[in-house]
Amino acid sequence: MNKPSILILCTGNSCRSHMAEGILRAAAGDIIDVHSAGSNPAGYVHPQAIAALAEIGIDISAHTSKHMNDFLGSKIDTVITVCGKADQACPMFPGQVHRYHWGFDDPAHATGTEEEIRNTFRRVRDEIQLVFNAYAAGLLR
């Protein structure tokens, strides 16, 4: 049996979508295939996103920034957008069954001291974790 495939989209695919991918993969285990991409990928994964997930035991250091068009030929069952711009730019994927939009602040635009920026990444991580852990719990029923 093929596992359901979930694609998490954001504009830059540098922070939120990678944090959501890592959290969902950790929470749901091997019952799904989860990927992330962007409508205008930044070309890197933000070091603060990597650090924020490392603090909760999730390693996304090997993730790469990808374009959503890379997945147009793939069977995607669910698309989840985590920022408004990606929700507007998101194409319909062939065979796509579900589509959700759960928006989160972009921590890449945080300003202030290093600690304030780090805390913004932690806050967004915690918000993403709350939503995606609940989603995973529903999948595991």
Q: Which residues sit opposite 78 in a β-bridge?
A: 6, 98
**Choice among 10, 19, 58, 80 that is catalytic:** 10
Task: State how far the Cα of 9 lies from the Cα of 33, in Å rounded to an integer.
Answer: 14
15 is catalytic: no
- How far are the Cα atoms of 24, 112, 117, 123 from residue 96, in angstroms, in the given order? 19, 40, 36, 31
10 is catalytic: yes
**Choice among 52, 58, 83, 86 that is catalytic:** 83
**Choice among 19, 20, 90, 108 that is catalytic:** 90
Tokens, residue 118:
């780090």
83 is catalytic: yes
Q: What angle do CA 18, 105, 69 make, to 5 degrees?
A: 45
Sheet holding 98-101, edge to edge: 33-38, 5-10, 78-81, 98-101
Residues identified as active-site: 10, 83, 90
